Amino acid sequence: MPARPIDLGWMRIFFEVGRSGNFTVAAERLGLSQPAVSYQIRRIEAQLQVALLERRHRGVALTPEGRRLFEAVRRAVEDVDGVVQGFRRSPRRPALRLSTDYAFSALWLMPRMHAYRALYPDVDIQLVATHREERARPAESEVAVVFGTRDELGRVGTLILPERVVPVCAPGFLKQNGPLDSPDAIARAILLHLDTQGPSPWYDWQAYLRDLGTSHDLPDGRGVLCFNTYALVVQAAIAGEGLALGWLGLVDPLLEAGLLIKTGPVLQAPERGYWILPPEEATAETDQLCAWLVSGFASGVAVSAGSRASAG
């Protein structure tokens, strides 16, 4: 019996529906009910506020927007499946667990995993993305990349990505709604929000605009677009739905590719950002993984535990 595919949430569901063109077939492959699959697709469309599928008599077809999202999801799903298949083929090889949040895993880690696997082909690595904000030291053979402040993590971690944000949007959105380079113009734009439980631990639009001396003025007849993961915020920005806060270091490849462009001032909070947390008892494999993560930020943003240096 073939091994059950790893759970990737909405991405796995959308991938199966997109490639099969049929809710029922996708449900059978996933071991879910057809209504459950249909509900998840409606939920994704509601979050993005864009139609991803065209309903037809004997199935569904991807809309142009759905095709763009499907191609991005397909690459991510196939890459994860390839990694997982490697785990299952060689269960006795050295194994590591790398845990982080959805934003870091989707935007920074996944596009670079092929490079890690090329350097260390004999080490299996399990990627775990979660919404939970873990602060405890990782277990044996585990490395964590978490968001936090120097007060919280400076004694045990290494700061690799200090917080630096800038408004970003699709070129077409800027052409239609620009210029968006002044605080007041940014405040009047359609803003894409990341939903958080309680006060935001990072820059959100309220904090960003407050630091620029203004606040969000919601235009008449335009609702707020809010998403529960940063990856969806970025996808909505690429789709031209509005203006997002781009985390420099995560969205750089999208800026270089021209899918997103900067539209305002860069703000930074050098005492908070993404930190590497190694296990209390390091191994050669965890040391290699930590060193590889630090080397990924070769521009000099990595700051060792206890250091007072910060990114410019």
Q: Are residues 152 and 281 in the same domain?
A: yes
Q: Are residues 152 and 280 in the same domain?
A: yes
Question: Given the structure tokens 């397909």, which residue do they identify?
Answer: 74
Mean per-residue pLDDT for 47-76? 88
Q: Residue 307: inside a domain, yes or no?
A: no
For 272-305, write each residue's pLDDT tens digit. Answer: 999 999 988 888 889 999 999 998 876 444 433 3
Cα separation, 187 vs 68, whole angstroms: 28
Q: Are residues 178 and 29 in the same domain?
A: no
Q: Are residues 55 and 151 in the same domain?
A: no
Q: Are residues 47 and 97 in the same domain?
A: no
CATH of the domain at 24: 1.10.10.10
Q: What percent of the chain has pLDDT over 70?
A: 86
Tokens (6 digits) for 12? 């796995």
Strand 267-277 and strand 95-100: the pairing is: unpaired
Q: How far is CA 17 from CA 23, 26, 35, 70, 79, in A?
A: 6, 5, 13, 10, 18
Q: Residue 2: inside a domain, yes or no?
A: no
The domain boundary, picked from 84, 103, 129, lies at 84
SS3 state at 263? coil
Question: Given the structure tokens 């991005």, which residue do they identify?
Answer: 72
Q: Are residues 182 and 251 in the same domain?
A: yes
For 86-126, write each residue's pLDDT tens digit. Answer: 666 655 566 788 988 888 988 898 888 888 888 888 888 88
CATH of the domain at 283: 3.40.190.10
Q: Are residues 30 and 116 in the same domain?
A: no
Q: Are residues 37 and 79 in the same domain?
A: yes
Query: Whole domain around residue 116: which residue ranges?
Result: 89-156+276-295
- The answer to whether the predicted template modeling score (pTM) of the entire model surpasses 0.85 is no
Q: Are residues 102 and 181 in the same domain?
A: no
Q: Are residues 106 and 189 in the same domain?
A: no
- What's the confidence (pLDDT) of residue 178? 80
Q: Are residues 265 and 286 in the same domain?
A: no
